[in-house]
Structure 1
Amino acid sequence: MKGSVIALGEIDGKRAAALIRDGKLDDFVVEAGENAPPAPGSIFRAKGGRLLKGMGGALLDLPNGESAYLRGSKGLKPGAPMLVQVTHIAEEGKAVPVTTRLLFKSKYAIITPDAPGLNISRQITGEDALIILHDLAAETMEGADETLGLILRSACEGAKPEDIIEDIAAMRALAEAVLADREGAPELLVDGADPWEIAWRDWDADVFDDSEDAFANHGVEEMVDAALDPRCPLTGPASAYIEPTRALVAVDVNTGGDFSPAAGLKANIALARDLPRQLRIRGLAGQITLDLAPMPKKDRRQFEHSLRAAFKADGKDVVLAGWTPLGMFEVQKKRTRMPIAEALK
């Protein structure tokens, strides 16, 4: 089916959201559960803990005896309260990674404390649209503390002015309330976005289906079952196996029954083009090691070009580390969600 669909539903009593493009699952998010680490975007009032000498950071105290890791310790006072935001999913047994640079993010607007000024998405280029957005921002941010900055997202293009104003005002009010609540014991102040909010805030599609039968209407559960299968079909007889371990995500590519001279390159490029989607729908990240199908060294540059193009939209969240002495290719991806296999246990 051509076109794109956002479907909201539940799996095993947990909220979930699916983005489907041209009949294929393009993204999928599911609630991690009560005992999962704090979601990225969560904001805490933490308490300054002990410095980690030689590591360039510090451990902070969070509610319920949990610990957070803050990179950089400049100006940190042990025992003093401070506001921090979760940057990515904590690995099992490790402290929650946080930053002191807070962002209050919604569909149209992002409020940036301690980063003043107005920035409008570069994807919006029309002069009239830019003037209108500038005036809306000035009107809604009038009287705000001069340390508050504002970013207007690409979703503003074509949106109703009243919706944009409402969004900016809501994020401004939330930011002001949180920034005024610095004193006290460690406490969770803002929850990270759940799957339904992520879908509304960050995804765009032709159809938005939040009916009770949304998942059944679009075959989402069958697509999720396929995403739980380690085997990932590629072009022709080629396939890949994507299997997470505690230390890394292993990806093994093989050509199946194709023994032609170009079979290895074709399979590897097919994997490169589909790998970002496969990682998204499976919720996999961290260190990713690709055991590619055999191909001549002269073809490596072509493979790297395809991989770089495929991950372009991920920006700084993905680092292409390069080749190992054994001919593996390594990728590092920021952990922004729980693996769906763990979330759906």
Structure 2
Amino acid sequence: MKGRQIFLDHVGGREASALMEDGRLIDLLIEGDRPRPGTVYSAVTDRPVAGQGGLFLKTPDGQAYLRGVKGIGAGEVLQVQVTGYAEPGKAIPVSHKLLFKSRYAIVTPDAPGLNLSRSIRDDDVRDELLVLAHEGMEGSEMGLILRSAAAGAEADEVAEDIAAMRGVAESVLEDASAGPEVLAQGDGPHVLAWRDWVDPADVVTDADCFEDHGVLDAIDSARGDQVTLGAQASMFIEPTRALVAVDVNTGADGSFAAGLKANMACARALPAALRVRGLGGQVVLDLAPMPKKERRSFEGALRAAFRTDDVDTVLAGWTPLGHYELQRKRARLPLSEVLA
């Protein structure tokens, strides 16, 4: 199966989207049981966390935690947005800086100004998009960002997207709820696929397309901990309570360059492997043996691989024991949880 395909189907009764490239599963979204990122609440402040600059809030879906706030007392009503998934037993992570995001447009109530994606470099295209931005946001004090996908879209589609996101934002901001309430739901897997997987692809929506096109087999493989890296190398991805451990092995290849080749293959494969498995938090790489002088090459490959990943990831660097650490946003639910 060559090329790029997007499949929209269901797994175990849950809405799901899969992105395949040349027969490989490179992204997967499955509906979970927790509040979706992007959900906007009217929340009531509960109690501050001493010394941490945060406070807990009451929402319709349980307790939430808001960082980086000062001077807010108990009992106040705030509009907040879910930013990711919490670890089991912890509060929902939220932000008071709202974003209303679609395929082409992001409306930013707390950040005025009209901006375009930096990846849009053609001056004529930028001028045309700025005209659409000014027309679509005329009379509003909210900000707008036009995403890179807007550069290749029809003007009418971009204008409609701006109007839709502006309408949602204005509706939410005008809500005067006095207690915990859901003001807007985050997007589900099918909408997220349309919103974020914007590169050209064949879209398949037939019933049972996951089974017919091998997606279910790829998901079953992702539920295991082994990822083949070509030749005889592999890596094992094993989540624990504290962190995600990644162990890179060269297999039976005993050549001098085997370790470097396996580690470079790990760097290229790791973003997709973590996305598909829905893994975040602290990630520790136990790499195959390689000369210290090759560390810079490995870091460059890793940085390039994560540059196109849509999940915020901090490349923290090397530990004294020679492990490499990452810190990754919990933007997905673990595959092992949603398909338990």
Instruction: Trace 1:31-42 onto structure 2 (pairs within 5 A).
Output: 31-33=31-33, 36=34, 38-42=35-39
Q: 1:235 to 1:170 in 2, by over 3 A?
A: same
Paired residues for 1:223-238 under 5 Å: 223-238=218-233
Indicate yes or no: 2:14 matched with 1:14: yes
Alignment pair present for 1:211 and 2:206: yes
- Residue 340 of structure 1 aligns with which residue? 335
Q: Within the alignment, does 1:318 sit opposite 2:318 as a pair?
A: no
- The worse-fitting range, judged by mean Cα deviation, of 74-83 and 12-21 is 74-83
Question: 1:89 maps to which residue?
Answer: 85
Q: Is the 8 A contact 1:230 1:242 kept in 2?
A: yes
User: Aligned pair in 2 of structure 1 residues 131, 325: CA closer, same or farther (>3 Å)?
Assistant: closer
- Count of paired positions: 339
Partner of 1:30: 30
* 1:194-273 → structure 2 map (5 Å cutoff): 194-204=188-198, 205-273=200-268
Distance verdict in 2 for CA 1:2–1:315, change over 3 Å: closer
Q: Tell me which residue corresponds to 2:115.
A: 119
Please point out which of 327, 331, 334 is paired with 2:322: 327
Deviations 1:163-214 (CA, angstroms, capped at 9, x unpaired): 1121111111110110011431111111111100110000023211122243
User: Which residue pairs with 2:65 in the alignment?
Assistant: 69
Output the aligned Cα RMSD.
1.5
Deviates more, 1:4-13 or 1:292-301: 292-301
Taking structure 1 as reference, are residues 296 and 128 closer, same or farther at Cα in structure 2, changes over 3 Å only? closer
- Long gaps (5+) in structure 1: none
**Matched-pair identity in %:** 55
2:138 corresponds to which of 142, 154, 157: 142
| 2:12–2:339 CA contact under 8 A, matched in 1 | yes
Regions of 4+ moved over 3 Å? none
**How many angstroms apart in 2 are the aligned matches of 1:259 and 1:127?**
53
Summarize deviations over 1:132-180 as a string: whole Å, max 9, x none.
2222222222232x2x111111111231222112111111111011001
- Partner SS, residue 293 of structure 2: helix
User: Could you list the runs of 5+ residues in structure 2 that have no partner in the other structure?
Assistant: none
Q: 2:50 matched to 1:46?
A: no
C-alpha separation in 1, matches of 2:125 and 2:296:
41
Following superposition, the deviation at residue 319 of structure 1 comes to 1.1
Q: Which residue identity does 1:243 align to in structure 2? A: E
TM-score, length of structure 2 as denominator length = 0.95
TM-score using structure 1 length: 0.94
Determine if contact 2:53/2:70 at 8 Å carries over to the other structure.
no
Deviates more, 1:317-326 or 1:224-233: 317-326
Deviation at 1:315, TM superposition (A): 7.5
Q: Which moved more, 1:274-283 or 1:161-170?
A: 161-170
Structure 1 residue 172 and structure 2 residue 160: aligned? no
The separation in 1 between residues aligned to 2:222 and 2:239, in whole angstroms, is 13
Match of 2:182 in 1: 188
- Give the deviation of 1:316 after TM superposition: 8.1
> Are 2:54 and 1:57 equivalent residues in the alignment?
yes
What is the CA-CA distance between 1:341 and the residue it aligns to?
1.4
**2:149 maps to 1:162:** no
- Provide the rounded CA distance (Å) in 1 between the counterparts of 2:235 and 2:153: 41
SS of aligned partner of 1:173: helix
* Cα distance in structure 2, aligned partners of 1:306 and 1:260: 21
SS at match of 1:326: coil
